Amino acid sequence: MAYRSETRLVHGGTLRSQFGENSEALFLTQGFVYDTAEQCEARFNNSEPGFIYARFSNPTVSMFEQRMAAFEGAEAARATASGMAAVTASLMGQVKAGDHVVAAKALFGSCRYVVEELLPRFGVESTLVDGADLAQWRDAMRPNTKTCFLETPTNPTLEVYDIAEIAKIAHAGGATLVIDNVFATPMYQHPLALGADCVVYSATKHIDGQGRVLGGIVLASEKFITDNVHQFLRQTGPSLSPFNAWVMLKSLETMPLRVEKQTSNAAAVADKLAGHKKLKRLIYPGRADHPQAATIKKQMEGGSNLIAFELDADKAGTFRFLNALKLIRISNNLGDAKSLITHPSTTTHQRLTVPQRLELGITDGLVRLSCGLEHKDDLAEDLFAALEQV
Ligand SMILES: *Cc1c(COP(=O)(O)O)cnc(C)c1O
């Protein structure tokens, strides 16, 4: 389709039933019936296209997959029950015992568990590197390195890694590169165009964008999906429910409006907060003082709705700040219509040791704010009032 991206998010992938419904239908069906035994046989041996069983194909789920693929510019997509199911499938689907994986240290907590704890239990070794240091990626590559994995911007410190350069290193070593693109959103960063082989999302975040359902998606070339992801998902079964796919599908229609507003709110709030006397540092991709501002300029088309900042306070002082917020609620989700704030060291990154946390810049004073759709001045006023309690 030659349409521009917003148009693809409204129309991409639409499958109309015989009733000609305007809004996409919700097909709550596990199975499908066949006119004849011959047709059933043909579906099973792939000589006739069509749906067979909702563990691996359902019209509503398929519309969500096709709409996301059209937007991302991917040949193929597979939806999953959650973001973690997408991450796990994209990695586990590629490796076997004896293989090796390189990943950036700064990963969403559960992603780090998969790489650091789960893969080694099945004989897949992993090396964690400082994602911003290209020399560390180069040094970590081994003849048996099968895939490299990173998220950028990272959770929670919003570091940005150079996807094109890391893709070159991975490919030179005969490995693939998988990007967890949640923090950038499908709007502001296009990893496949930058050289990555596979992109994964937790659709739970900006794609739903209204805090309702869990979901995930893996996007890649037809070959990558066929070789690595299709059978893994089809046979192990972490499929997206048609209801959740329908919620996500309708959400995609308004995603650009929401993400643009969340991002402009975050940019305004970051500018107001920067330099506040109670803050030690503020990190916002989109400000010129971001440590990787040059990489952001090269590979991102917008900032983020997330801001990280470090209070000049211990855990007790930081908790006083969080507890004093009235509008912004304490929650570990992100990308929601409502603004949400998280204390990573006691929640998402609690599993790490103190030295591991400090290595990632996760101190007791660090908080991560996900800006929602409220008025930017109400957000800023809430933050400024609470900072008085530090
Ligand atoms: C939330 C998140 C995940 C996991 O997604 P779920 O839908 O909660 O399973 C993975 N990676 C990143 C960066 C996330 O923010």
CB-facing half-sphere around the CA of 269: CA atoms within 13 A: 35
Same structural domain for residues 242 and 259? no
**Number of domains observed in the structure of the chain:** 2
What pLDDT does 2 receive?
78
What pLDDT does 351 receive?
86
Range of 281's domain? 255-387
Residue 106 structure tokens: 């700064």
Same structural domain for residues 103 and 171? yes
Same structural domain for residues 112 and 142? yes
Same structural domain for residues 245 and 269? no
Report CA-CA distances (Å) from 12 to 16, 21, 63, 120, 329: 12, 15, 8, 39, 35
What pLDDT does 85 receive?
98
CA of 85 to the centre of ligand 1 (A): 9
| Domain CATH for 359 | 3.90.1150.10
CA of 351 to the centre of ligand 1 (A): 16
Cβ–ligand 1 contact at 84 (below 6 Å): yes
Residue 154 structure tokens: 């990272």
Same structural domain for residues 245 and 270? no
Cβ–ligand 1 contact at 379 (below 6 Å): no
Same structural domain for residues 174 and 274? no
Domain boundary among 210, 236, 252: 252
Query: What are the φ and ψ backbone dihedral angles of 208, each rounded to 5 degrees?
Result: -65, -60
Exposed e or buried b per residue across 54-78, where buried means at least 16 C-beta atoms within 10 angstroms of its C-beta = bebbbbbbbbbbbbbbbbbebebbb
Same structural domain for residues 143 and 179? yes
Same structural domain for residues 228 and 263? no
* Sequence-ordered alpha helix ranges (H) in 173-278: 185-188, 222-224, 230-236, 242-273
Same structural domain for residues 290 and 172? no
User: What are the 10-residue block averages of pLDDT along the chain, 390 residues in total?
Assistant: 87 95 97 96 94 95 97 97 98 98 94 96 98 98 98 96 98 98 96 98 98 98 98 97 98 97 98 96 95 96 96 97 98 96 94 92 97 98 96
Same structural domain for residues 115 and 175? yes
Domain boundary among 185, 220, 252: 252
What pLDDT does 355 receive?
94
Same structural domain for residues 183 and 81? yes
**Which residue owns the Cα nearest ligand 1 atom 5?**
83
SS3 breakdown of the chain: % helix, strand, coil, rounded to 5? 40, 15, 45
**Which residue owns the Cα nearest ligand 1 atom 8?**
83
CA of 283 to the centre of ligand 1 (A): 20
Domain boundary among 252, 280, 308: 252
| Domain CATH for 12 | 3.40.640.10
* Sequence-ordered alpha helix ranges (H) in 77-196: 83-92, 109-113, 119-121, 134-140, 163-172, 185-188
Cβ–ligand 1 contact at 310 (below 6 Å): no
For ligand 1, pick from 182, 334, 340 the residue to mutate: most ligand atoms within 8 Å of CB: 182
DSSP-derived secondary structure for 97-125? TT-EEEEES---HHHHHIIIIIHHHTT-E
Same structural domain for residues 317 and 372? yes
